[in-house]
A and B are shown apart, each in its own frame.
Chain A
Amino acid sequence: MTHPPGATAQAALEFQVQQLRMINERLTYVRALLPSASVEWRGPAQQLFDLGVQELHRDLASARTMIDAAEQRTSTAASQMSARVG
Chain B
Amino acid sequence: MSDELVVSGGGSYAVATDEMLSNAANLLRAADIAREIVGAIHMVDARLTIGQLEALGIPSGAAIAEQDLGLAHRAVSQLADRAQQMSGLVRFAAESYGRGEALTESLVRRVATDAAATLGFLFPAWATAVALTSPMLPILAGIGVAAFVLGKTHPQLLEQEWMSARLNDLISDPAFVLALRHSVMTVDEFSAGASGVPPAMVSALSGAGLIGLATAAGSIQQAGGIAGLVKETAVRLVTRTPPVPVAAADSIQERIERIPQPTPEHPEQVRIERYETPGEAPRFEVYIAGTVDFAISDTREPFDTTSNVSNAAGREAGSVAAVAAAMREAGVTSESPVTFTGHSQGGGTAARLAQSGEFNTYGVLSVGGNTGQIAIPDSVPAIIIEHTDDLVVAAGGLQDNRHALVVERQAYGGIPLPAATMVPAHHLTQYVETGRLMDQSDSTELRGAADRMAAFGRGAATATVTSYYFERVSP
Q: Which residues of A contact B (CB under 8 A)?
A: 5-6, 8-9, 12-13, 15-16, 19-20, 22-23, 26-27, 29-30, 33-35, 38-40, 45, 49, 52-53, 55-56, 59-60, 62-63, 66-67, 69-71, 73-74, 76-77, 80-81, 84
Mark each residue of chain B from 429 to 442: 1 if its CB lies under 8 Å from any CB of chain A, else 0.
00000000000000
Q: List 13 A-B contacts (CB under 8 A).
A: A9-B57, A13-B48, A22-B40, A33-B27, A40-B17, A53-B86, A59-B82, A60-B79, A63-B76, A66-B68, A70-B72, A73-B61, A76-B59
Beyond the given A23-B41, A45-B93, A52-B86, please list 6 additional residue pairs across the A-B interface where CB-CB is below 8 A: A19-B44, A34-B26, A35-B26, A55-B82, A60-B79, A80-B59
Q: Is the CB of B65 within 8 A of A56?
A: no
Q: Is the CB of B33 within 8 A of A9?
A: no
Q: Is B62 an interface residue (CB 8 A)?
A: yes
Which B-chain residue is minimally distant from A45 (CB atoms)?
Answer: B93
Chain B residues with CB under 8 Å of A27's CB are 37, 76
Which A-chain residue is minimally distant from B26 (CB atoms)?
Answer: A33
Q: What distance in Å separates the Cβ of B23 from its nearest Cβ neighbour in chain A?
A: 5
CA distance A74 to B41 in the complex (A): 14
Q: Is the CB of A81 within 8 A of B33?
A: no
CA distance A60 to B80 in the complex (A): 10
**Cβ-closest 9 pairs across A and B:** A66-B72, A77-B62, A70-B68, A63-B75, A59-B79, A9-B56, A73-B65, A33-B30, A70-B65
Q: Which residues of B contact A (CB under 8 A)?
A: 17, 19-20, 23, 26-27, 29-30, 33-34, 36-37, 40-41, 43-44, 47-48, 53, 56-59, 61-62, 64-66, 68-69, 71-72, 75-76, 78-79, 82-83, 85-86, 89-90, 93
Chain B residues with CB under 8 Å of A63's CB are 37, 72, 75-76, 79
CA distance A35 to B23 in the complex (A): 6
Chain B residues with CB under 8 Å of A22's CB are 40
